[in-house]
């Protein structure tokens, strides 16, 4: 265990897939705790609050506290509250994100022309009218464009479905503007959040995840030891073509003993 003070665990595709735990994942988390490691669960899902995510994981057998969870929603809400707490926000997203932004004390508006910042995220009700309002809002160059996370797809039990990145890219495409910031993994804001949660430097941590462009990229940039699992969106062909090279490659988190 020399070299690790904490471990960062991705959730969807690493610990669970859809509503089912990945075989051996519950035992792997307990093994990490037994080794004396501080544990943080980091997800780019912006919809669920910490409490809702804890309940979801607890319902399938994981033991954790809400304070150990970091989501793209919490990262976005906390960052905007610290840096732009006096602004008004027009949000493309779902109820869970609205709840987190409200909970951070931010002022939200349904009037696109009143916004100082547009926040784009996964929205399963996303439609042409919403895209039009985003176009009109961001036609003002003074309005900032922020995304919660870059994940274009989300793994489910059967197949992948569109995620926040798909919505963000649609807005970017129609407006001709790239986001001013994207909050979730692999952004520095996510690294800062996990360091606050774990109480240790990121460079002292192991990160385990299924995405090369978020989990492994964040780990590499922050000096973390990285472990890729093949239970999510990354297969061998994608790994071979990637610019990111994990320190370890596991069939699943059940093989975490190989890293320890």
CA pair distance 104, 126, nearest whole angstrom: 24
Contact 135, 176 (CB under 8 A): no
Catalytic residue check, 86: no
Alpha helices in 93-203 (DSSP H): 95-103, 128-138, 164-175, 188-198
Contact 92, 120 (CB under 8 A): yes
CB atoms near residue 141 (< 10 Å): 7
CB atoms near residue 235 (< 10 Å): 9
Q: Rounded to the nearest 10 degrees, how much is the dihedral formed by the CA atoms of 52, 24, 1, 203?
A: -40
Q: Give the SS3 label for residue 162.
A: strand
Q: Which of 52, 51, 47 is nearest to 66 (CA)?
A: 51
Catalytic residue check, 10: yes
Contact 187, 194 (CB under 8 A): no
> Which residue shows structure tokens 């990121």?
202
**Catalytic residue annotation:** 10, 12
């Amino acid at each position: 265990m020399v070299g690790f003070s904490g471990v960062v665990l991705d959730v969807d595709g690493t610990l669970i897939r859809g509503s089912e735990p990945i075989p051996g994942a519950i035992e792997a988390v307990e093994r990490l705790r037994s080794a004396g490691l501080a544990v943080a669960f980091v997800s780019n899902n912006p919809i669920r609050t910490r409490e809702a995510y804890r309940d979801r994981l607890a319902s399938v057998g994981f033991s954790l506290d809400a304070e150990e969870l970091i989501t793209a929603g919490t990262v976005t809400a906390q960052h905007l509250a610290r840096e732009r707490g006096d602004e008004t926000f027009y949000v493309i997203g779902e109820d869970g994100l609205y709840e987190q932004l409200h909970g951070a004390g931010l002022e939200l508006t349904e009037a696109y022309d009143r916004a100082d910042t547009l926040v784009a995220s996964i929205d399963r009700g996303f439609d042409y009218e919403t895209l039009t309002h985003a176009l009109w809002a961001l036609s003002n160059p003074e309005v900032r464009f922020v995304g919660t996370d870059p994940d274009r797809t989300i793994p489910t039990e059967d197949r992948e479905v569109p995620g926040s990145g798909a919505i963000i890219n649609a807005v970017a495409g129609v407006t001709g503007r790239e986001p001013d910031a994207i909050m979730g993994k692999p952004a520095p804001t996510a690294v800062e959040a996990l360091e606050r949660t774990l109480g240790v430097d990121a460079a002292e941590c192991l990160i385990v995840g299924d995405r090369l462009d978020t989990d492994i990229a964040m780990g590499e940039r922050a000096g973390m030891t990285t472990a890729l699992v093949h239970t999510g969106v990354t297969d061998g062909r994608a790994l071979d073509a990637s610019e990111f090279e994990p320190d370890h490659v596991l069939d699943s988190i059940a093989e975490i003993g190989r890293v320890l």
